[in-house]
Amino acid sequence: GQNIDQPTEMTATEGAIVQINCTYQTSGFNGLFWYQQHAGEAPTFLSYNVLDGLEEKGRFSSFLSRSKGYSYLLLKELQMKDSASYLCAGGYNKLIFGAGTRLAVHP
Amino acid sequence: DTGVSQNPRHKITKRGQNVTFRCDPISEHNRLYWYRQTLGQGPEFLTYFQNEAQLEKSRLLSDRFSAERPKGSFSTLEIQRTEQGDSAMYLCASSLVTSGDYEQYFGPGTRLTVT
């Protein structure tokens, strides 16, 4: 079967660092994606990990361990505009999404 | 190119009516996907096309749902005899499948409300 788990909600303070975890049990995943989705808007691509390890892209980094079925998204120097849902997804052709983690950034 | 577009952005319909949504992908993209998203959940895969061929349909997609991509460009998703449970955001995404490139670009969605 295919299952993706991530925390439902997180809160953090502006300027801080937050790590959003994602665990998955599935077969046939070619890699792990992270998408950001602001309320009422479409998901936008943040990162894609196909190999184990850390991928850094500006304030956002993503990590993947395929043997452990584990990924995380690291957001540094948090800004108010980072308040959004963060979706973990895996797949080869179609994407299987987790339910998303709603992040609230407070001043 | 301005990205993936979807029309209409909002649709309110009465139970039992048929509705049709349109998606225009990014012009050079050969794959087009349809997802459905309800409040507080991630998008759920419905179906996808490579060019004009429909390659996979989710078991979630009942016989009331049909999708087409007749010329390998835009796509339509039709829901017949709508039910209240069909109320959701319908998202379209497209991608260009080349070696190592699997990113899907999402459109703004069509929000369907069935009354």
B1 contacts: CB under 8 Å, gap ≥ 6: B26, B27
**CA pair distance B108, B2, nearest whole angstrom:** 12
Residues of A in contact with B48 (CB under 8 A): 93-94
Residues 28-47 of B with CB under 8 A from A: 31, 33, 35, 40-45
Structure tokens given for B101: 């490139």
Q: How far is A92 from chain B (nearest CA, A)?
A: 8
Q: Which residues pair with B90 in a beta bridge?
A: B36, B110
In this prediction, residue A2 carries a pLDDT of 66
Asked whether residue B99 carries a pLDDT value surpassing 80, the answer given is no
Q: How far is A15 from chain B (nearest CA, A)?
A: 26
Q: Per residue in B10-31, pLDDT tens?
A: 999 999 999 999 999 999 899 9
Q: How far is A14 from chain B (nearest CA, A)?
A: 24
Question: Along the 107 residues of chain A, how does pLDDT read in single tens digits?
Answer: 568 999 999 999 999 999 999 999 867 677 899 999 999 899 999 999 989 999 998 999 999 999 899 999 999 999 999 999 999 999 877 899 999 999 999 99
A35 contacts: CB under 8 Å, gap ≥ 6: A43, A44, A45, A46, A86, A87, A89, A97, B106
In this prediction, residue B22 carries a pLDDT of 98
Q: Is A90 on the interface with B (CB under 8 A)?
A: no
HSE toward the beta carbon, residue A43, CA cutoff 13 A: 34
Residues of A in contact with B105 (CB under 8 A): 45
Q: Do B45 and A31 touch (CB under 8 A)?
A: no
CB A38, CB A81: distance < 8 Å:
no
Q: Percent of chain B at pLDDT above 70?
A: 97
Q: Do B105 and A96 touch (CB under 8 A)?
A: no
In this prediction, residue B100 carries a pLDDT of 58
Q: Nearest CB to A93: which of B35, B48, B108?
A: B48
**CA pair distance A13, A64, nearest whole angstrom:** 25
Q: Do B43 and A92 touch (CB under 8 A)?
A: no
Name which of A15-19, A78-82, B60-64, B79-83 the model is least confident about.
B60-64
Q: How far is B78 from chain A (nearest CA, A)?
A: 20
